[in-house]
Amino acid sequence: MSKIDSVVLGPVAAVWSMLQKPMRILWDIMPPYPIIQGILEAKEVSPHGKHMILIGMDIVEIDEFTFEILKVGEALRARCTKGNRAIRIDRLIPGGKPGA
């Protein structure tokens, strides 16, 4: 790489790296939101302190309050971001409507 390239591309690379995280965050929160439905198989807290649940074969990140309320074995429907962070979780009741 020539000196001219490093002078021109250095600032461009720096700006690009600063924009990547906000762009990923915006992409994650934009619709469409996938819906995950199934039985709550497991609940765990990651080494980083994130609260995670396993619905069927999908791992979903949830808040601590919801983590404490949900019970393993419940039928759930979760609307999530593209990064599988829960936006809304409904309990599914056989023969009834979703709701907690």
Residue 50 confidence (pLDDT): 96
Does the structure show a pLDDT above 90 at 94? Answer: no
DSSP state of 66: H
Sheet containing 51-55, strands listed edge to edge, beginning at the edge strand earlier in sequence: 58-62, 51-55, 35-45, 75-80, 86-91
Cα–Cα nearest to 63, from 88, 40, 39, 41: 88
Does the structure show a pLDDT above 70 at 1? Answer: no
CA angle 35, 39, 60 (to 5 degrees): 50
Lookup result for tokens 């390239």: 5
**What is the per-residue pLDDT across 39-89, written as a single tens digit (0 to 9) for each?**
999 999 999 999 999 999 999 999 999 999 999 999 999 999 999 999 999
What does the block give as tokens for 6? 């490093």
